[in-house]
Amino acid sequence: SLRYGSSRIFRDAARTSSAINPSRRWFASSPPHEGVGMPSLSPTMESGTIAKWNLSEGEAFGPGDILCEVETDKATVDFEAQDEGVVAKILADAGPNEIPCGDPILVIVEDEDDVGAFKDFEAAAPAAAAEPAAAPEAPPAAAPAPVA
């Protein structure tokens, strides 16, 4: 199996993906936590799907545990933990929905007692893609002046 991840728990994917900054804090009042984005598991990967979650919310994991299976455009790859932690909130369901690389899929905490604080947690919605501005209409070209 391939090993990927972000932060101290998922070091390899942080080097190879546009995953969200794992030290980012969504709410100042929340216990210490890390957001994990969909990793980029190949140079051409722009999105993937979660084929299967191997852990559930509140479950502790350690180095080598397979958190989930990610389907890329070429293969299904194990997303493996590099350190220990606790799954606080799964943000992306397993299934056919394509998840862009970097979009949040998981919140992790170090202390199992902090899991309950994330029961109703939701990641911020990705910024809406800006609609392209309509090109201003060009004024009609002036007819050339007659030559006398």
Query: 68-99: per-residue pLDDT in tens?
Result: 999 998 899 999 988 899 999 999 999 999 99
Which parts of the chain register pLDDT below 50? 1-27, 127-136, 139
Give the span between the Cα atoms of 10 and 61, in whole angstroms. 12
What pLDDT does residue 145 have? 66
End-to-end CA distance of the chain: 82
List, in order, residues 6 or more apart from 47 with CB less than 8 Å away: 38, 98, 99, 100, 101
Edge-to-edge strand order for the sheet containing 47-53? Answer: 76-80, 66-71, 47-53, 99-100
Q: What sign for the dihedral angle of Cα 1, 49, 125, 55?
A: negative
H or E element, residue 51: strand 47-53
Assigned token pair, 44: 């051409």
What pLDDT does residue 105 have? 96
Q: Report the phi/psi class of residue 64: left, alpha or beta, with left for phi > 0 and alpha for psi in -120 to 50.
A: left
| Domains of the chain: residue spans and CATH | 11-118 (2.40.50.100)
What pLDDT does residue 101 have? 94
